[in-house]
Structure 1
């Protein structure tokens, strides 16, 4: 069987609405737990004040992290992946892209470059629906694998997937 490489594709990266909703939901769960704890009759002692301060700090950290997400694009040129945008140098090839989770309309990717620096990014179909299938084809193209290919689907299968570019 001849393995063909996927054609070039460009897909936008940026702040994920799903990530924002997930962070907000987790913060609200923490706020609800803290409110229930306060409502259960706890007096305003140092540990209650500490939990409220920690909750506020977690919310601010989540908001700052989400706002710090850099906007750009991910590019598959037929040979390697690279990120382009204001916050990182254009043309630097990514060494490895791993699919952490695949929800069909939402992907969580781990991108690692030569400097061993890695970043997790959410890619959503709603960012560019016309190119979503092309982007997925490039990610899961059998022509890109040195060995066997395994995909992660969030449907009960928990095999790790590692997608490596040609070097």
Structure 2
């Protein structure tokens, strides 16, 4: 196999507070219990540089480490990330050439998103709360979300485990041993 064949990429996309990081961990745990080879690549971790170098810097870092992931096949890759627009989705897809690339948009009512962000950022202070609440507002005004996503999963009024199982199911990921982590 060359390139990314045998690697499946699932981007968990959504507003701040939608559960991208939480659900990436939950999906990872379900895959681990099923002994399915997988990785979580948190783009925030590829962007911890001061001063901020811009979104292209993150994609460049991802492109740089991607060959290390494609060497481990078959592999399912989970990427929690807020995708700004269609061009950014296409750029992200180009940074991780794979046989399959899906975007799952995570949703919840705006009041739930605002509550989650406010609780999560309580220790971070008013600056981060206000900044993320503004992002929630901007996200909810977007009109391009149907062009970004392949499918949608609601994250409110249910457990994290239930939402993670739906994500796995909607992505078409099977939990059988052909993707065993023992191959890593």
Confirm or deny a common fold (TM above 0.5).
no
Whichever structure has more helix as a proportion of its residues is 2
Q: TM-score range by the shorter chain?
A: under 0.3
User: Scaled by the length of structure 2, what TM-score is found?
Assistant: 0.24
Q: Return the TM-score normalized by structure 1.
A: 0.26
Larger radius of gyration: 1
Higher relative contact order, chain-length normalized (CA < 8 Å, sep 6+) = 2
